[in-house]
């Protein structure tokens, strides 16, 4: 997993110059938006003291910023816009993220929205009942262990924001990947897997709102396409990795 770096630039801009400053950064932002080294950016203004502004830029790496963006054709136009305000900079540094990170509870996890552990247990029970009756998928699961559905319920629960029960009892992402190696999963089987999972979600009573189902299907598409790759003849097992964590993405839950 790539670890990016965050640059913070803190300005003190007199009130009478703030409109010009914001206009200059609006123009300069076009260069950031075009830079492949830039992940995202945001200019914030202090609520308690309107003269303080903080620009946050996430770069793919510090080196990419200093040796890539600053030496690219985009930088001269960026610098031309902000040059009048360089003397107003109070801090300009790069920061690496630490392990202390997370989200608050203003937006529920997909796991909580779905109904927690019981919902994913119902889902996998309904799903594997369908799989074992399906002519296309049943051969892949001919030696299905009795605890398989329960393990997949733990996996999906953790992926969608629930407790790390799969990681603690089975292992991380690499452990799941290894289970697919050598299976030779076809595209037709992958598509059937996704379709049956959606049918099982209906049968299990998972939420049907557009936002949840779009995130749910997005993970199913991503996960099954990886499964096809890792089941193929040229796949290389990855090192141990944490279980992926899926979020709402572009559309958080609709809460009137």
By C-alpha distance, which of 203, 197, 217, 204 is closest to 134? 197
Beta-carbon-side half-sphere exposure of residue 99 (alpha carbons within 13 Å): 0
DSSP 8-state symbol, 254:
P
Q: Strand, helix or coil at 236?
A: coil
Measured distance CA(130)–CA(103) in Å, rounded: 36
| Residue 196 tokens, joined | 């049956």
According to the annotation, is 175 in a ligand binding site? Answer: yes
According to the annotation, is 180 in a ligand binding site? Answer: no
State the chain's maximal CA–CA distance in angstroms.
74
| Residue 86 tokens, joined | 């360089």
H or E stretch including 127? Answer: helix 117-131
Q: What residues form the annotated binding site?
A: 151, 175
Known binding-site residues for heme equal 151, 175
């Amino acid at each position: 997993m790539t670890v990016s770096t965050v640059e913070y630039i803190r300005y003190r801009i007199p009130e009478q110059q703030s409109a010009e400053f914001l206009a200059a950064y609006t123009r300069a932002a076009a260069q950031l938006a075009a830079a492949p080294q830039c992940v995202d950016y945001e200019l914030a203004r202090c609520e308690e003291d309107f003269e303080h502004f903080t620009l946050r830029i996430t770069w793919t790496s510090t080196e990419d910023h200093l040796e890539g963006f600053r030496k690219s054709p985009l930088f001269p136009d960026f610098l031309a816009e902000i040059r009048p305000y360089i003397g107003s900079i109070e801090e300009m540094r790069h920061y690496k993220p630490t392990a202390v990170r997370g989200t608050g509870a203003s937006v529920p996890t997909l796991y909580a929205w779905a109904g927690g552990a019981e919902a994913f247990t119902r889902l996998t029970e309904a799903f594997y009942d369908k799989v074992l009756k399906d002519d296309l998928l049943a051969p892949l699961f001919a030696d299905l262990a009795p605890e398989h559905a329960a393990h997949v319920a733990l996996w999906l629960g953790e992926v969608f924001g629930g407790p790390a029960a799969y990681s603690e009892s089975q292992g991380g992402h690499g452990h799941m990947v290894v289970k697919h190696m050598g299976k030779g999963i076809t595209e037709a089987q992958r598509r059937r897997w996704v379709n049956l999972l959606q049918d099982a979600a209906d049968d299990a009573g998972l939420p049907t709102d557009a936002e949840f189902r779009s995130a749910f299907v997005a993970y199913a598409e991503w996960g099954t396409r990886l499964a096809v790759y890792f089941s193929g003849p040229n796949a290389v097992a990855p090192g141990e990795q944490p279980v992926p964590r899926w979020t709402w993405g572009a559309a958080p839950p609709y809460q009137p």
